[in-house]
Structures are given as structure tokens and as C-alpha cells.
Amino acid sequence: MAVILPIIQFEDKIIEIVEQNSIVVVIGETGSGKSTQLSQILHRRGYTKSGIIAVTQPRRVAAVSVSRRVAQELGVRLGEEVGYAIRFEDRTSEKTCIKYLTDGVLLRESLSNPELNQYSVIILDEAHERSLNTDILLGLMKRLVKLRTSNLKVLITSATLDGGKVSRFFSNCPVLTVPGKLFPVEILYSSERPTSYLESALKASLDIHIREPAGDILIFMTGQDDIEKLVSKLEDGVQSLEEGSCMDAIILPLHGSLPPEMQANIEIRVFSPAPPNCRRFIVATNIAETSLTVDGVVYVIDSGYVKQRQYNPSTGMYSLDIVQISRILFNCYFPDSRVQADQRAGRAGRTCPGKCYRLYPSIFYREEFSDVTVPEIQRSSLAGSVLYLKSLDVPDIDILKFDFLDPPSRESLEDALRQLYLIDAIDENGVITKVGRTMAELPLEPSLSRTLLEANECGCLSQALTVAAMLSAETTLLHTRSKVTEKKRKHPQDLPNGSGWGDHIQLLQIYESWDQVNYDPRWCSDNNLQVRGMLFTKDVRKQLSQIMQKSAKGSMDVQTIIKRKERQKDYKNLRRALSAGYAGQLAERMTHHNGYRTLGFKQQLVQVHPSSVLQADEEDGRFPDYVVYHELISTSRPFMRNVCSVE
């Protein structure tokens, strides 16, 4: 039976407001139909006659999933009338009139087409997530609606955002609130913070399964790693329960790094109701907070943890990945917000009264959680964003005065400017250079785009493209990397080991070995590499190479000639290119073991991350004197991740 989503009842009202205003804020409960229906309403009412409707999503998975759903509802093939575009993957065609895309892709499109003339409507969805790119888009939209000669409608949608604040930002634009119905949710707290939230989530899930009536369980974990662990524990746990003591169980992981085929398969099972006498356990990241609405959930288990990266501009360091909520028990904390915790609880009350089990004491919620989530712009390195804004060529954009909904700190903007200066992307007056302009056209972070440009100059573009592609696809290889390192330690002859030069070279050698066997998938499985991840790398590499040919006049003919040169045993040219790209991320070896001191503006003591191939060479005492690193990350100690020796 088709359920009428709340937003549908507001169709006339929405059209009336949109017709009279260029910018409208739409606030609606999660699941009210903002992501899937707004675009269809506007399409029905003629807004695709004058252009495409763009709907941005902060998450790649959501862009793919929601577009698939909308295509299905409209009875068209995905990629035709309804399509999606995410970094390195464009599934749209001439026919596309509703396009779901990540906010990053829309930003990139605006570089080549600053007025975004192909779009009649731009919907910035999930604005409450306050992703870095959505925040920048908010500032740009403000200018664009005034600037554009053809008509543009901008809708900003959110589940929890302070509508008044956004409305004020857009000169008091109207706010339309779509009331949603939520059933009461009983909140149950743990009496104390568990020592292991994984074990505690397992116990709570099995208790519900044994004791509570029918209804699916949604469990919030922090990421792929702990989701996989919990899924496997749940599988064992459910199996060991006495037969007949409870209903059947389906256990489903839901996170942003699922392989596409698996994602499609999981989605079908996540979005269709559980079979009779069967309970679903959906183990998800905060993607299920608002991005993807899972129906049928009656019980929510909230670990209270959130995976968040926090950039500190004064040290240039990202702090630990999984953040705990309490500053009392742990020394460092970036609290989950009450808004997020409430959203999680709300997922239990969509279809009937529900229960939410919080795996932490109520005092934490009251006293330790912040009111709102800190916007990403205030906890990220801004080098990429600042370079992008600089390349827009708009005379009135002064980065330090750019109109942000919540401005980043001056320190963080200055840090970004300094980084860009070190890699020649801007000059001493802060003006973007020719190099910087070309860098901005590449869909990569500044260090990698600068590496590619330098490589193009010194005859090792082909190698650098591989390194950039391998690093860009790293999320899909990540799991494998550690296995590779482990395996390599056991069987050094199996896989290349970076020849002591470091991680970038190892990534290159892995790809080259695969190339030598004609991209044979069996080679990947034999070496514990995900075939799909490697194929993705190959595709990314091809795309990057095409962009380089266009933007930086990277000539493949020249490359063939110089290919011989590239085969230098010591990878000298490639390492030179890496030094240019990572000029702000250099470190010098200290006399003791694996200790290094970062050079430049911020000098601090750091170590080589255990996942690095250089660590595997530790026994040989082969730590190089100077290295560049891809990022600094502070977990138990400050570490350099993805490290490569330079001269």
C-alpha cells in the first residue's frame, strides 16, 4: 500500500511560494519526502521545461540511492530522465531533467559554468548536515540568484536546521515547514558508560530480539569497521539463540563505503519491509540519521559515538577518527550533538510508538552534548575550498570576508592561504597563480593536483596519475591496504614493498604489477586486493589523465617518449613532484627510531603511522631523512599517514 508522504499534501503551497520567491527554505521531518518528492513536484509543475532540476546531497551514497528511487517512482531508467553525478562517476545523459549530485560536484560545475545556466532549480538538500561544500554553496547561491539573467529557484531543505537563521542569511526568505507525524519514543539510558560500545550494542540488540515484540532495530555505529564487527557478532549471537525463542533475523550493514553492487542489494532489503516473522537489524552510520530513511524501525540503539574529523589549523593536524562524547572519561572529545541524538531517537517513531536505547547515561546527554553539530567548515582544512573560491574569478570575493552562514576562524583561513602559497597556488599577495588555476580544475586535493602539475613538467605524469588515483580510491582499498602490509610482512616476495621509498611508491608499484598482468582480476584476489577498488582506481586514473590533457596540456605523446625516463629505479622525478605537491607537508628525521619533526611554519614531533610501508622496514632501520606525508592524524599520538621519502 502506497503511503502518501507529508510533503505531497503541500504541493500547491510549495509551488505558490516557489513561484513568488527565488529562495525558499523547506523544513520537514526526516522521511517527509523532501529528497525524493520535491524534485518530482517541481518537475510535474513544469520546472524542467526551462532547465534541469539539481538536487545536491552531501553524501555520495544518498545521491545514488535517492536518484535510483526517484527513477523507479517515475518508471524511467536511471541515467536517463533521472540521473546522478558523483566524483568520478557521471550517470546522466542528454535526457536528464532531474539530476542528483553531490554538493562537491555542483561546486566543480560552477567553475566551468559560473552561472549554472543549465539548471532551472537548485535544491540544496540535507543542509542541516552543514557539510563544507553545502556551506560554500549557500554563500554562492546568495550571489547567483541576483546575478543570473535567466530565472533560478533555490530551495534549501533540512530536517533540523534553524530555519530562522538561514532565512535571515537570505534576506528573510520564506520558510515552509512541513509538519511530520512522529509517534512517541521512550528513551532508555544506560546507567554508566560501557567499556565497549560494541559489546554493549550487541547485548542490547539481542535483548530486544528476545524480549520485545516485532519491529526492526536500527543500530548506530561509527563506521565501516565497527559495523562489520557488530554484524559478524550479531550473526553469531542470533545463531546461538535457542531455536523458537525468537523470530528470524536479517542483519544488514548500511554505510557509505559499501561496494555499489552490494549497496543496491542492501538497499532493496533496507527499503522493503521485513518478511513476516522476521526482524531486521540495520547496523548503520549516521547516514541513517536523516540521509536515508529506513521504514519499519521500532527500536533504535544509539552508541552515542560519532565519527568526526576535527582539523586543528594551529597544528595542521586532524584529530582522532572516532570521537567519544565525554570529556570526563576521555581526554579529548568532540561531542555528538543533542540534535543528532534526537534525530536518531526519532527514527524509532515513524510508524508506531518506539524505544530508543542510549548506551550512555542521561547526564552525558544533558551536560556533555553540544546543542548543535559543529559545521564542517569549522573543523576542516580549507585549502581546497579557498583555492576553489579564489579560482572563481569574482572580484567581490575576498576570502576573509566571504559571506558564510557560520564563518570559519581567521586562523583556519590563514592556514589555508599559507598552504596554498607554499605550493605556488597563490602569490605573496594572495592572488591565484596560473598553476593554482589549473590545480583548481582537477578534482583532487591541492597537494595531489600540484603533484600532477609538477610531474607533468618533470616527465613522470603517468606515474603521478597512478599515485593520485590510488590515493583517491583509497577508501575502497583501505581495508585491503592493511592486509597487503600484513601479507607483505609475511611474504615479502609477493607484493611490491615500495622499495623502501614509502607508501606512494608502494601504491604505484601495486598498480603497475596489476598493469603487467593485464589487469587480471585474479591477481587482485590472490593479493588480497579488492577487484572493484582496483577497477575504480583504473577508471579514476583515466579520468584524471583526460582532465590533465585538457587543463594542463599533459601530452600523452610526450608521456610515451618519457616513459623510459619514468622507470628510473629511484623514482627520483616522481619524488621530486611529490615534494612540490606536499611542500607544506615535509618532515625531517630525528635521531631516535621513527621520530620526525615537521618542517615549516608548524614544527612538531610526529611518528610514521603503523600502517605505513616504512614501518614494515623498521627492522632494516631504513627510515629516510626527509619525508612528505599525506596527512597528519592524531590518535593516541600524532602520526603521519601515507609517507614517502624525498631528498
Q: Please, what is the minimum distance in Å from the beta carbon of residue 608 to ligand ADP?
A: 42
Looking at beta carbons only, is 96 or 380 nearer to ligand ADP? Answer: 96
Q: Please, what is the minimum distance in Å from the beta carbon of residue 268 to ligand ADP?
A: 8
Looking at beta carbons only, is 31 or 498 nearer to ligand ADP? Answer: 31
Q: What is the C-alpha to C-alpha distance for residues 26 and 41, in angstroms, rounded to an integer?
A: 14
Looking at beta carbons only, is 178 or 389 nearer to ligand ADP? Answer: 178
Are 636 and 496 in contact, with CB atoms under 8 Å apart?
Answer: no
Q: What is the C-alpha to C-alpha distance for residues 603 and 597, in angstroms, rounded to an integer?
A: 6
Q: What angle do CA 445, 527, 608 make, to 5 degrees?
A: 45
Selection from 267, 292, 293, 270 nearest residue 281 by Cα: 270
Selection from 289, 267, 157, 275 nearest residue 218 by Cα: 289
Looking at beta carbons only, is 35 or 612 nearer to ligand ADP? Answer: 35
With a CB cutoff of 8 Å and minimum separation 6, the contacts of 15 are: 41, 42, 45
Q: Please, what is the minimum distance in Å from the beta carbon of residue 29 to ligand ADP?
A: 7
Q: What is the C-alpha to C-alpha distance for residues 566 and 570, in angstroms, rounded to an integer?
A: 10
Q: Please, what is the minimum distance in Å from the beta carbon of residue 259 to ligand ADP?
A: 17
Looking at beta carbons only, is 124 or 435 nearer to ligand ADP? Answer: 124
Residue type for position 541: R
Looking at beta carbons only, is 7 or 442 nearer to ligand ADP? Answer: 7
Are 370 and 337 in contact, with CB atoms under 8 Å apart?
Answer: yes
Q: Which residues would be at the binding site for ligand ADP (CB under 6 A)?
A: 5, 28, 30-37, 65-66, 68-69, 267, 271, 290, 293, 295
Q: What is the C-alpha to C-alpha distance for residues 492 and 462, in angstroms, rounded to an integer?
A: 26
Q: Please, what is the minimum distance in Å from the beta carbon of residue 370 to ligand ADP?
A: 23
Q: Please, what is the minimum distance in Å from the beta carbon of residue 64 to ligand ADP?
A: 9
Q: Please, what is the minimum distance in Å from the beta carbon of residue 296 to ligand ADP?
A: 9
Q: Please, what is the minimum distance in Å from the beta carbon of residue 295 to ligand ADP?
A: 5
Looking at beta carbons only, is 160 or 543 nearer to ligand ADP? Answer: 160
Looking at beta carbons only, is 4 or 431 nearer to ligand ADP? Answer: 4
Query: Phi/psi of residue 406, each to 5°?
Result: -130, 105
Could you tell me the CA-to-CA distances from 505 to 82, 393, 442, 584, 590 in Å, in that order? 41, 36, 21, 19, 23
Q: Please, what is the minimum distance in Å from the beta carbon of residue 158 to ligand ADP?
A: 10
Looking at beta carbons only, is 31 or 163 nearer to ligand ADP? Answer: 31
3-state secondary structure of 412: helix
Q: What is the 3-state secondary structure (H, E, C) of 182-209?
A: CCCEEEEECCCCCCCHHHHHHHHHHHHH
Are 466 and 494 in contact, with CB atoms under 8 Å apart?
Answer: no
